[in-house]
């Protein structure tokens, strides 16, 4: 795949993340548990980074499990099925967190190196690689 088409794909994926983030925040404003709860819980999924203390393989598995949209979607379905504001709030906050990170290029990880994401290299690595190539 050429770098140009890869850059276009990354832009589309980041735009998709912005749309999900906006949708999650708008829905949270309508159905959520208050902005204090949102603020306190927004970065909770990043606790999964502590799994890297075990080793890279475990860290990658835990991080990717927590940073997949499957978890928030399950929480939202449970929240809708059982009319549970707690599950709805968790799903919206969790989904917003994932979208926020993906908007900046932080996606699911490969176990070989923290900077390699499913969305490509994170920007600071791409910039340093380009600088080194000159």
CA distance 91 to 41: 11
**The whole model's pTM is what?**
0.81
What do you get for the CA distance between the two ends of the chain, in Å? 22
Share of the chain above pLDDT 70, in %: 78
**114 pLDDT band (50/70/90 cuts)?**
low
Are 19 and 30 a contacting pair, CB within 8 Å? no
DSSP-derived secondary structure for 96-111: HHHHHHHHTT---B-T
Are 105 and 123 a contacting pair, CB within 8 Å? yes
Find where tokens 């919206």 sit. 92
Instruction: Supply 48's token pair.
Output: 């999964």
DSSP conformation class of 4: H
CA distance 26 to 20: 10
Q: What pLDDT score was predicted for residue 133?
A: 44
CA distance 122 to 130: 12
Q: Is 117 helix (H, G, I), strand (E, B) or coil?
A: strand
Say what the alpha-carbon torsion angle 88, 93, 96, 100 is, to the nearest 10 degrees.
-170
CA distance 4 to 114: 24
Which range scores top for mean pLDDT: 2-16, 27-41, 118-132?
27-41
């Amino acid at each position: 795949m050429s770098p140009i088409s890869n850059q276009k794909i990354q832009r589309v994926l980041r735009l998709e993340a912005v749309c999900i983030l906006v949708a999650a925040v708008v829905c949270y404003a309508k159905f959520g548990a208050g902005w204090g709860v949102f603020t306190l819980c927004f970065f909770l999924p990043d606790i999964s980074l502590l799994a890297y203390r075990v080793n890279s393989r475990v860290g990658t598995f835990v991080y990717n499990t927590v940073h997949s949209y499957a978890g928030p979607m399950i929480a939202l379905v449970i929240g809708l099925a059982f009319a549970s504001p707690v599950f709805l709030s968790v799903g919206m906050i969790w989904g917003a967190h994932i979208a926020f990170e993906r908007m900046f290029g932080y996606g699911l990880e490969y176990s070989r190196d923290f900077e390699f994401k499913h969305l490509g290299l994170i920007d600071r690595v791409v910039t340093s690689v380009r600088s080194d190539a000159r």
